[in-house]
Chain A
Amino acid sequence: QQQVKQSPQSLIVQKGGISIINCAYENTAFDYFPWYQQFPGKGPALLIAIRPDVSEKKEGRFTISFNKSAKQFSLHIMDSQPGDSATYFCAAAYMSWGKLQFGAGTQVVVTP
């Protein structure tokens, strides 16, 4: 019962382009939406996170857009670089629940 659905499964983008990854959730109690980045052979690491009281959060080239009414959030990677090639996971949680639900992941390849 995957509560967070992520798309696409994979993405190829040219250097300098924009990568967009989308996630949708069902549980309206979720109040924390992080994105994790994972390089081959490593554990995931937090990239950026948002709470539902804001519609957008930007950190450098990475932006989360959040649409509470549609129960969707997305990650935009601007000016994509080869070093951004990794697997990206969205996730959702709420504090009193204790669980952290991850999407299935998106493999991003940035070509030179």
Chain B
Amino acid sequence: EAQVTQNPRYLITVTGKKLTVTCSQNMNHEYMSWYRQDPGLGLRQIYYSMNVEVTDKGDVPEGYKVSRKEKRNFPLILESPSPNQTSLYFCASGRDSTDTQYFGPGTRLTVL
């Protein structure tokens, strides 16, 4: 089944404790992206990757890191999480930014 998977689905952590949210797709897509969703603000792009080893900042990259060492995986790293990073995070993939984006199920992160 074609899908985007994210782990974990739910995470409660404390300020400053490094964490990684994994994202994997099995559709051989070149393009992958991370978004955060907050009430009233919609989906805001954090980082995107046009293909392996190529990543670029979206609209809200501060406090986040990503890597794209292989086509299928695009982890999101929070080196020192803060409470303002409490949000619902979605990973997505597609052939490129102007093609259908397939979204993962989301990761709800709470930073205390």
Contacts and interface: CB of A to CB of B under 8 A. Distances in A.
Contacts of B45: 99-102
B74 interface: no
Interface in B46-102: 48, 50, 56, 58-59, 90, 92, 96-98, 100-101
Interface string A42-84: 1111100100000000000000000000000000000000000
Given A6-B42, A43-B103, A31 B97 contact: no
Query: Chain A, interface size: which category?
Result: 20 to 34
A97 B17 CA distance: 33
Contacts of A93: 97-98
Contacts of B50: 98
A44 B98 contact: no
B43 interface: yes
A104 interface: yes
A1 B100 contact: no
Most buried by A among B43, B50, B58, B90: B43
